[in-house]
Structure formats: structure tokens, C-alpha cells
Amino acid sequence: MKAKTYGAWGFCLVLLAIMPATRVQAFDDLERMCQTQASVAMHVSRSDVKVRRSDNLDDGSGNYILLWEARLHDGAHSRGYCQVDPRRQQIVRFESGEYSGRSWIREIVQHWC
């Protein structure tokens, strides 16, 4: 009995199945990193920090914005954001306070150029 081979089609199907899962896993890792950074900065446990993706996911430089909110020990809330680079899988900027939607790279260029 001859084995059935799928050739290029089979390879493409495998790639299509793997690629989205890898991207989702990478983004989950970035969200976890942002959550950890916020919990350390606010002196609370990771479970007290909620992270969500910004509505304008890309800030214009290819980096993504993740918004975080921490519930502090006195019941107050603190907010901020992480600017993450999906290619290098790292946080490139961490801030407390509201995200203004402006790219810090554009701000530097406008100020100095």
C-alpha cells in the first residue's frame, strides 16, 4: 500500500497552524512581563495587576502598547502602560500615568530635529 503524501500543501497547512499560536504565545509573554513590571513598581502582587491591549495597538514605531491597572493596598488604583517590541520580545518603555497616544520617538525627533 502506497503512503499518501501531501507535499507543499501539507507543509503550508502545518505552518498556518503553528504561526498564529506562536504569535499569541509571544504576546501573552509580553503581557506577563508588563504585569510583572507593574506589580514590582507598585509593590503589589501580580494578581492585583490587570493588563489589556490598547485600542490603537501599534504606536507608529512598530511597538505595541499594553495598558495596565494596579489595585493598590489602600484600595486606590494606579494606571500606566508598557510599550513593547514584539520583534525583540522586550519592554522598551514603562510608564505610570495615562497613555497619550503619542510616540516617544516622534516627540524626541520633533524636539531635537
pLDDT per position as a tens digit, 14-71: 444 444 444 455 668 999 999 999 999 999 999 999 999 887 666 667 888 999 999 9
Residue 20 forms part of a structural domain: yes
Total domains in the chain come to 1
Q: Which domain holds residue 69?
A: 13-112
Distance in angstroms (rounded) separating the CA atoms of residues 92 and 11: 35
Q: Which residue has the higher pLDDT, 24 or 74?
A: 74
Residue 5 forms part of a structural domain: no
Q: What is residue 5's predicted lDDT score, i.e. its pLDDT?
A: 56
Look up residue 4 and give its DSSP letter.
Answer: P
Residue 86 forms part of a structural domain: yes
Mean pLDDT computed over 74-85: 92
Q: What is residue 97's predicted lDDT score, i.e. its pLDDT?
A: 84
Q: Which residue has the higher pLDDT, 12 or 100?
A: 100
Q: Which helix (H) or strand (E) holds 31?
A: helix 7-42
Given a cut of 90, is residue 91 above it in pLDDT?
yes
Threshold 0.85, pTM exceeds: no
Residue 8 forms part of a structural domain: no
Residue 59 forms part of a structural domain: yes
Given pLDDT bands bounded at 50, 70 and 90, which one contains residue 106?
low
The answer to whether the beta carbons of residues 66 and 82 sit under 8 Å apart is yes
Of 63, 33, 67, nearest to 50 (Cα)? 67
Residue 50 forms part of a structural domain: yes
Residue 4 forms part of a structural domain: no
